[in-house]
Amino acid sequence: MFRVLLFSVIFAITSQAYAADEKIVLAGGCFWGMEAVYRHVNGVKEVMPGYAGGEASTAHYEMVGTGKTGHAEAVEVIYDPAQINLEQILKIYFLAAHNPTELNYQTPDHGTQYRSAIFYSDEEQKKAAQDMIGKLTNNKAFSKPIVTTLEPLKQFYPAEEYHRNYAALNPYSPYIIMYDKPRVQNVKQYFPELYRDK
């Protein structure tokens, strides 16, 4: 009886801890770099590269690469709101993870699959994103208009296994060195209180 009670208490505590986690889906160019950025942020528990904006039948790398599926390369960021809040997640997104003024491209990657987009799952996320865009616009944080789209999240589809943790597993790739490592350095430079090495 004691074992059953103990298991129930442990399960309840674990369930509450897991339920406390929050997540948001963000797109900002190649998902390798976006994933690398958030893997270096304190309070982020998991980052999954994948696809959002299209249908399940086209959520495959080769098909998404055509730019005709409606999908964007994106990441699902799971975080502990006791350690980092949504506003901080969004500040990193807009000010370190990518350039939100580039329409349908980031650095050398072009096409709607590389668009700047926030896939919100509820009105709270949508409003937080709208407020952040408003603040950055009013403060003239960028010399050009922010083109980030706010799109309701229908479904997030995890990417193929070989895309996961790609930057960490391929640190000497010229693409990673040239385009993704600078994103991580942005976090370290602009958000040192939120940065972690590993």
CA–CA distances in Å: residue 27 to residues 83, 99, 113, 193, 197 = 22, 11, 9, 24, 23
Catalytic residue among 26, 27, 30, 128: 30
Q: How many helices (DSSP H) and strands (DSSP E) are in the chain?
A: 8, 8
**Which residue blocks in 21-120 are alpha helix, DSSP H?**
31-39, 61-64, 86-92
Structure tokens at 125: 């996320």
Q: Is 30 a catalytic residue?
A: yes
**Which residue blocks in 25-122 are alpha helix, DSSP H?**
31-39, 61-64, 86-92
CA–CA distances in Å: residue 7 to residues 4, 14, 18, 31, 162 = 5, 10, 16, 39, 37
Structure tokens at 35: 């994933």
Q: Which segments within 81-185 are labelled E, that is strand?
A: 105-106, 109-110, 116-120, 149-152, 156-158
Residues tagged active-site: 30
